[in-house]
């Protein structure tokens, strides 16, 4: 088992003919993801790489292919509309990779998607991968290996670093999920923790957080109250100064809230073992197997 995506995932790529969309569509197909169609307005009727049909709208793509998941690579000014279009077309999982989506747009997208019963992951996220089954997004497939550990993270390359260390140490994964670093995102830590707790093949979970906001603190309380599986955590940004945005739109310490120290304390108080370095995740996981 795995969470959110598996071998039954039928993927539509929004922005399949763009620079990032076409590159990653190829990578996903190579990995074994079932890519059933693409969407680029004005290119309906053409084929991507001679095999994948392209449609003008998501709704046409869903009707023709039975796609149940989309991944979005469209540029920031059009990304909000692409997410809403996907939700309205009845897709159940929408993965928005696009970085730089205005937060004001997301205040409108979030309730819109929710009311239509779809799950949104991102924006500004690396997507997710269920090793050996399906990959949706940009996480490099070769650093992952099938196994029993679930991973959820707010970061991109830091996730790769931790997954790579785990894979090298022989610790495979059920699913790795990058929820993204923006202030408003569709799926949060708790959504993923709940899914991992319910997934019978996941035996333990890794949570990777960073400075900014209180999502990690809420996740920590959730772990204490609702989870039976061991959880190991890491927080980035212990050396980050307050008031400065550290790359991610969400990674900013405002006032006294959102510091790494506060989050590490919340993890420890709620039974999450905290790794001091990314590599220490491996040792903490092994000690809990």
Partner 1 sequence: MNIHEYQAKEIFRSHGIPIPEGDIATTPEQAEALAKKYGGTVVVKAQVHAGGRGKAGGVKLARNPKEAREIAEKILALTIKDLLVKKVLVTPAADIATEAYVGVIIDRASKRATFMVSPAGGIDIEEVAAKTPEKLRKLAVDPRYGLQTYEAMELGFFLYDDVKQVRAAAKIMQQLYAAFVASGASLAEINPLVTTPDGKVLALDAKMVIDDNELDRKPELAALRDESAEAPSEVEARNASLTFIKLDGNVGCIVNGAGLAMATMDLVKYYGGEPANFLDIGGSSNPEKVVTALKIITEDPSVKAILFNIFGGITRTDDVANGIVTATKKTPLAVPIVIRLTGTNEEIAVKILEDNGFTALTDMDEAVQRAVELATAKEAA
Q: Candidates 38, 181, 230, 233: give the one binding partner 1 (CB under 8 A).
A: 181
Q: Which residues contact 236 (CB under 8 A, 6 or more apart)?
A: 155, 158, 208, 209, 210, 211, 260
Instruction: Work out the end-to-end distance of the chain between its first and last CA atoms, rounded to an integer number of angstroms.
Output: 19
Burial 101-128, CB ≥16 within 10 A → b, else e = beeebbeebeeebeebebbbbbbbbbbb
Q: How far is the CB of 5 from partner 1 (least distance, A)?
A: 18
Looking at beta carbons only, is 184 or 194 nearer to partner 1? 184
24 in catalytic set: no
Q: Give the binding-site size for partner 1 (rule: CB under 8 A).
A: 60
Assigned token pair, 122: 């991102």
Residue given tokens 């995506």 in the structure block: 5
Round to whole Å and give the CA distance between 146 and 124.
25
Looking at residues 42 to 81 of the shown chain, list those that interact with partner 1 (rule: CB under 8 A).
76-77
The yes or no reply on residue 7 touching partner 1 (CB under 8 A) is no
The yes or no reply on residue 82 touching partner 1 (CB under 8 A) is no
The yes or no reply on residue 190 touching partner 1 (CB under 8 A) is no
The yes or no reply on residue 256 touching partner 1 (CB under 8 A) is yes
The yes or no reply on residue 150 touching partner 1 (CB under 8 A) is no
Round to whole Å and give the CA distance between 70 and 166.
28
The yes or no reply on residue 262 touching partner 1 (CB under 8 A) is no
Q: Put the strands of the sheet holding 146-153 in their side by side order.
A: 134-137, 127-130, 173-178, 146-153, 204-210, 231-236, 273-274
Q: Which stretch binds partner 1 (CB under 8 A): 32-40, 49-57, 203-211, 266-274?
A: 203-211
Looking at beta carbons only, is 62 or 125 nearer to partner 1? 125
Round to whole Å and give the CA distance between 179 and 206.
13
Q: Candidates 210, 216, 232, 263: give the one binding partner 1 (CB under 8 A).
A: 210
The yes or no reply on residue 187 touching partner 1 (CB under 8 A) is no
How remote is the C-alpha of 95 from its chain's centroid?
7
Measured CA distances, 168 to 1, 72, 127 (Å): 22, 31, 22
The yes or no reply on residue 131 touching partner 1 (CB under 8 A) is no
Q: Which stretch binds partner 1 (CB under 8 A): 2-10, 46-54, 57-65, 181-189?
A: 181-189
Q: Candidates 63, 66, 107, 261: give the one binding partner 1 (CB under 8 A).
A: 107
Instruction: Write down the catalytic residue from 119, 133, 135, 248.
Output: 248
The yes or no reply on residue 13 touching partner 1 (CB under 8 A) is no
What secondary structure letter does DSSP report for 6? S
Assigned token pair, 268: 């420890």
Q: Which stretch binds partner 1 (CB under 8 A): 28-36, 63-71, 190-198, 233-241?
A: 233-241
Site for partner 1, rule CB under 8 A: 20, 76-77, 99-104, 106-108, 110-111, 126, 138-140, 143, 153-161, 164, 181, 183-184, 208, 210-211, 213-215, 234, 236-241, 244-251, 255-256, 260, 276-279
Catalytic residue ranges: 248
């Amino acid at each position: 088992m795995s969470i959110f995506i598996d071998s039954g995932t039928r993927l539509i790529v929004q922005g399949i003919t763009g620079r990032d969309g076409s590159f990653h569509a190829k990578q996903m197909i190579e990995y074994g993801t079932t890519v059933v169609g693409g969407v680029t307005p004005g290119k309906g009727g053409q084929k991507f790489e001679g095999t994948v049909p392209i449609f003008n709208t998501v709704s046409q793509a869903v009707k023709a292919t039975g796609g149940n998941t989309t991944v979005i690579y469209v540029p920031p000014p059009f990304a909000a509309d692409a997410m809403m279009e996907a939700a309205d077309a009845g897709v159940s999982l929408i993965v928005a990779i696009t970085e730089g989506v205005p937060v004001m747009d997301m205040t409108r997208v979030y309730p819109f998607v929710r009311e239509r019963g779809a799950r949104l992951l991102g924006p500004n996220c690396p997507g997710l991968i269920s090793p050996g089954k399906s990959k949706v997004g940009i996480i490099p497939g070769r650093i992952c290996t099938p196994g029993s550990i679930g991973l959820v993270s707010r970061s991109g390359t830091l996730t790769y670093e931790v997954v790579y260390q785990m894979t090298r140490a022989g610790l495979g994964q059920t699913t790795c999920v990058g929820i993204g670093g923006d202030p408003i995102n569709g799926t949060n830590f708790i959504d993923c923790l709940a899914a991992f707790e319910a997934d019978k093949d996941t035996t333990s979970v890794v949570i990777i957080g960073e400075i900014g906001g209180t999502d990690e603190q809420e996740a920590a309380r959730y772990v204490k109250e609702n989870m039976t599986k061991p959880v190991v955590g890491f927080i980035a940004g212990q050396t980050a100064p307050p008031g400065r945005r550290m790359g991610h739109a969400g990674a900013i310490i405002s006032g006294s809230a959102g510091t790494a120290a506060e989050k590490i304390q919340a993890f420890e108080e709620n039974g999450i073992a905290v790794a001091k370095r990314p590599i220490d995740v491996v040792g903490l996981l092994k000690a809990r197997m």
